[in-house]
Amino acid sequence: MSEVLPRPEASVYLDHAATTPMVEAAVGTLVARLREVGNASSLHASGRRARRVVEEARESLAGSLGCRPGEVVFTSGGTESDNLSLKGLAWARRAADPRRVRLLTTAVEHHAVLDPLDWLATDQGAVVDHVAVDHRGRLDVDALRTCLERDPGSVAAVSVMWGNNEVGTLQPLDDVVALAAEHGVPVHTDAVQAVGAVPVDFAASGVDALTLTGHKVGGPYGVGALLVRRELDLTSLVHGGGQERDVRSGTLDPPAISALATAVELAVAGQVEHAARMSVLRERLVRGVQQVVPEAVLNGAPLDDPGAGLPGIAHLSFPGCEGDSLLMLLDARGIECSTGSACSAGVPQPSHVLLAMGRDEQLARSSLRFSLGRTSTEADVDALVAAIGPCVERARAARR
């Protein structure tokens, strides 16, 4: 396993689902390439060297993720990839057939999926159906079938994430792809949290477009990719020099792209070992926290069915607490985590994921996400367990 950059000793970092430290190999690749000059679109020797870096990275990503090199479109990250896929598909499919105005998704998607879909509905005349999920956050396959069969000729695309970024629940993508294929509907999946955590093979999955990003797998910020089948028409978001199959114009970033490929290659190669270690740490964390705070509620995959969720995410609700207060109390003790909820204009909002799973607003606001990564240790987990009891007591007292 590649080494990672050290973090401050005083900090216990349990927010790897937000971003995880770069692996040393990716740092080395990035730094070395930053010293090189050349625009990958230029025809002179420096440009050709830059182009070689990009194409070698493209081939590496393809080999790691089970796709063809020509199916890799480099972007600035997960949000751009999601927007490109969803808007590009919606526009292209509607241009080919004006009836195709419906977009199907779940209510537990990341906002990088939900917000573009909302915009398409508000400004572009699309119709967005949010298919129900169960109490674990897993898509109701029968509900998706009903939604598809209601008027399949009107459906432009389906978007279902691979693994949930808040509670970690894995979605039944095989079923989604099979149902959509019956009606010739393309499927997009946001796999930002899944790559390196669970097996991800683009070709084997049957999806038509897949989002990933660098900073979740030990790569740099600001670089990602959209894997998209060559035969799938996408309307561009950004027009210019025609880079990336004329799907995503803009000067390419060879250093970041090369570092992304390095990080993905290492993450995929070490996925099985990593997942096993994360599962053990997740169980230690959940059992430890619930021993100290018996009322704590685990959201997502239960401990007796770890394969139903991402191995490194432990999402817990603490009745009687405000999640933001509990987060800050833990932060004061050097333990960093996340509420996993969105904020609008500085006003905390209950997690849309938990509400879709049937939790009430009060319980949803009492939740924290602890996400583990390659730097996580038993000592990190034990530090959280030692701190959580007093922090919960103080958070509850603050509400009285």
Can you give the CATH number for the domain in which 300 is found?
Answer: 3.90.1150.10
Q: Is 343 a catalytic residue?
A: yes
* End position of a domain, from candidates 269, 299, 315: 269
Active-site residue identified among 67, 147, 321, 343: 343
The number of beta carbons lying within 10 Å of the beta carbon of residue 261 is: 29
Ordered DSSP codes for 236-265? -SS-SS-TTTTTS-S---HHHHHHHHHHHH
222 and 156 belong to one structural domain: yes
* End position of a domain, from candidates 249, 269, 289: 269
CATH for 49: 3.40.640.10
Question: Per the domain annotation, does 64 fall within a domain?
Answer: yes
Q: What phi and psi, each to the nearest 5 degrees, are found at residue 346?
A: 80, 0
195 and 73 belong to one structural domain: yes
pLDDT value at residue 3: 54
pLDDT value at residue 348: 66
257 and 352 belong to one structural domain: no
**SS3 letters for 158-208?**
EECCCECCCCCEECCHHHHHHHHHHCCCCEEEECCCCECCECCCHHHHCCC
323 and 371 belong to one structural domain: yes
In this structure, the strands spanning 187-190 and 155-159 are parallel
* End position of a domain, from candidates 254, 269, 284: 269
The C-alpha angle with vertex 20 and arms to 291 and 191, in degrees rounded to 5, equals: 95
280 and 151 belong to one structural domain: no
113 and 258 belong to one structural domain: yes
291 and 203 belong to one structural domain: no
107 and 236 belong to one structural domain: yes
d(CA 190, CA 73): 15
115 and 197 belong to one structural domain: yes
User: What is the distance, to the nearest Å, from the Cα of residue 164 to the centroid of all Cα atoms in its chain?
Assistant: 7
pLDDT value at residue 349: 81
Question: Exposed, middle or buried by CB within 10 Å (0-12, 13-18, 19+), for 169?
Answer: buried
In terms of pTM, does the model score above 0.85? Answer: yes
Contact assessment for residue 190 and residue 176, using Cβ atoms and an 8 Å cutoff: no
362 and 338 belong to one structural domain: yes
120 and 184 belong to one structural domain: yes
Total domain count, the chain: 2
- The token duo for 159 is 């978007």
304 and 210 belong to one structural domain: no
Residue 276 is part of which domain span?
12-22+271-399
Question: Per the domain annotation, does 99 fall within a domain?
Answer: yes
- The token duo for 297 is 């509620």
C-alpha distance from residue 196 to each of 17, 214, 288, 313 (Å): 12, 11, 26, 13
Digitized pLDDT (tens) for each residue of the chain, 400 residues in all: 455 545 445 589 999 999 999 999 999 999 999 999 999 999 999 999 999 999 999 999 999 999 999 999 999 999 999 999 999 999 999 999 999 999 999 999 999 999 999 999 999 999 999 999 999 999 999 999 999 999 999 999 999 999 999 999 999 999 999 999 999 999 999 999 999 999 999 999 999 999 999 999 999 999 999 999 999 999 999 999 999 999 999 999 999 999 999 999 999 999 999 999 999 999 999 999 999 999 999 999 999 998 999 999 999 999 999 999 999 999 999 999 999 744 433 456 899 999 999 999 999 999 999 999 999 999 999 999 999 999 999 999 987 6
